[in-house]
Amino acid sequence: MDIKHTKKLSVFAVLLFSTTMLFGCAHYEVNTNRGNIPGYYIRSEMQEADRAVETARQAGKDKACPEQFKAAEDAKNNAYDVFRACRTEEGVALAKQATAKANALCPLQPVAQPVVAPIPAPAPEPPLAPIMAAEPTPERMKYCVSLNIEYDIDKADIRPQYHDEVAKVGDFMKKYPTTTAVIEGYSDEVGNDDYNMQLSQRRAESVVKSLVDNFGIDSSRLSAKGYGKTKQTADNSSDAGRQKNRRINAIIDCALDVKDLAPPPERLCMNLKMEFATDSAAIQSIYIDEVNKVGEYMQKYPTTTAVIEGHTDNVGSSEHNVKLSQKRAENVVNYLVEKFGIDRSRLFAKGYGSDRRIAYNNTPEGRQKNRRINAVIDCVIQK
């Protein structure tokens, strides 16, 4: 019984020793002898510091941040020196610090983002200038007539002898009841600006009143606008020049076929419904009929002359748009010469680019309105 009891105690002791050794070696690993520490096992923290420093070296951190790398390597070597001096736990603590330094080498620096200048907001377009009454619109012409009416000084009453002049407008508007008209009054430069503006307004209103009272034109179809001396057409240094500047114009807005106009007005302003491909001046075949209206009218009335106006929106440089609008106007002129035999001396092309807006360019619809071709036809009436 004593022998059996002794054997049991021996087995228990071996198991207890093995367990103690197992848990006691949990922080040990096989010694690679890199730190010149004798023994088969070594604390794992020591060699973890070795591995961290070596990993940093292979990653090129000894060159990327040499001073920081040397500090980590020196910390690792110091930990080994302390460990070798049998100050095990102090050496382990220093090894952990060396590992942390090696792992923290050359931290990624935040990449400086390029400073992008904010895109300036487009400058607001200046307010539209008042659109002249003679500016044609799609499918509507402007029939312009000058009324040779002379007024007494400082008077706005129409003398009886000028009834026939007013009749130019009254008879036309009675014949075409869908028409509307703007009666424009102008003065010479005698007198101050405010006075002339008021006087020209009263004279235009007197023509409107005559059209309502004597020709039965509904007042809703008429408006009066006085321009004073703002749009002089002659030199005010002579009586004849001042008389030319004291004038009344009628701008009649009408949706008519030009073939129906007889006799021809002094001036006819037409908008040609044409669109061009981007950056192109070629006339597309679907718009030929629009140009034909001008050619047929000028063939019928051989005393007429015409200015073909090209206009663009504001996309592109100002210089480019002027050249493009000029080229488009010239192509219309060339077509009228080649197709209808209109003498080139009767035609003139003028490109205005984006200078004469009739709408704002901040919408597709506005830009479309500004891209236009107008034909301004003058007729010298032979009597």
80 close to 35: Cβ distance less than 8 angstroms? yes
Beta strands in the chain (DSSP E): 28-30, 41-43, 141-147, 180-185, 222-226, 248-254, 267-272, 304-311, 347-351, 372-379
For 192, which DSSP code? -
Helix (H, G, I), strand (E, B) or coil at 227: coil
Cβ atoms of 299 and 377 closer than 8 Å: no
Strand 41-43, strand 28-30: pairing: antiparallel
pLDDT value at position 320? 94
pLDDT at 20: 43
The answer to whether residues 318 and 354 touch, using CB atoms and an 8 Å cutoff, is yes
Please report, for residues 118, 183, 207, 211, the alpha-carbon distance to residue 223 in angstroms, rounded to integers and kept in the order given: 49, 6, 10, 11
Cis peptide before 263 (omega within 30 of 0): yes
Which residues of the chain fall below pLDDT 70? 1-26, 108-112, 119, 121-122, 131-139, 255-264, 380-383
pLDDT at 8: 55
Helices and strands in the chain, H and E counts: 11, 10
Residues 120-147 have pLDDT tens digits of 766 788 888 776 666 666 667 787 888 8
Please tell me the predicted confidence (pLDDT) of residue 321.
93
